[in-house]
Amino acid sequence: MAAAALISLCLTVGLLILSFIFKAAGKLRLTIPVLCFLLFGTVLNKWAVEHETLAYIILFSLFGLTVLSWIVSLIKAIRRKRDEKYFEDDVAWQIRRAREMGVPLDKVQFNEQGDLLDPRTGKPVVYGDGVPFKDI
């Protein structure tokens, strides 16, 4: 009875640890390298021992692709943050220019291109076709 409880406890703890490993691997995009590592350590152990260099090449290539995907994601996040900053600066500049031009800003609206629209006419205030540029 005690042996069965011990085996059950070990299996439960082992599956819990494996669950945490796969959850962390999923967050870090390491699921495929972890699966490959587990396969090479268990089911494909004989093959991995016979072809050790190839097994390491496969593992390091998968890890390298993961690191490359991290770098690409980091670059995209930096660009997105920079674009948001440029957009915020542009919006602030358009609002400042609209105030200087005497446009009422009680109902501020922007079109799809990010142009500030005049609430009286619905036309772009600073950018757009036919907009007179004043002292830019």
* Count of CA atoms in the C-beta half-sphere (13 A) of 43: 5
Q: Does some domain include residue 17?
A: no
Q: Does some domain include residue 130?
A: no
The domain containing residue 89 runs over which residues?
26-117
Answer yes or no: are the C-beta atoms of 126 and 97 closer than 8 Å: yes
Q: Does some domain include residue 109?
A: yes
| Per-residue pLDDT, 128 | 58
Domains held by the chain: number:
1
Q: Does some domain include residue 19?
A: no
pLDDT tens for 95-128 read 888 888 888 888 878 888 888 888 888 888 877 5
| Per-residue pLDDT, 136 | 47
Whole-angstrom distance, CA of residue 117 vs CA of residue 115: 6
- pLDDT per residue, tens digit, the chain (136 aa), is 888 999 999 999 999 998 999 999 999 999 999 999 999 999 999 999 999 999 999 999 999 999 999 999 999 999 999 999 998 898 888 888 888 888 888 887 888 888 888 888 888 887 755 555 544 4
Q: Does some domain include residue 15?
A: no
| Per-residue pLDDT, 135 | 47
Whole-angstrom distance, CA of residue 86 vs CA of residue 81: 9
| Per-residue pLDDT, 61 | 97
| Per-residue pLDDT, 27 | 93
Whole-angstrom distance, CA of residue 70 vs CA of residue 66: 6
Q: Does some domain include residue 113?
A: yes
List beta partners, residue 117: 109, 124
| Per-residue pLDDT, 129 | 55
| Per-residue pLDDT, 124 | 85
SS3 81: helix
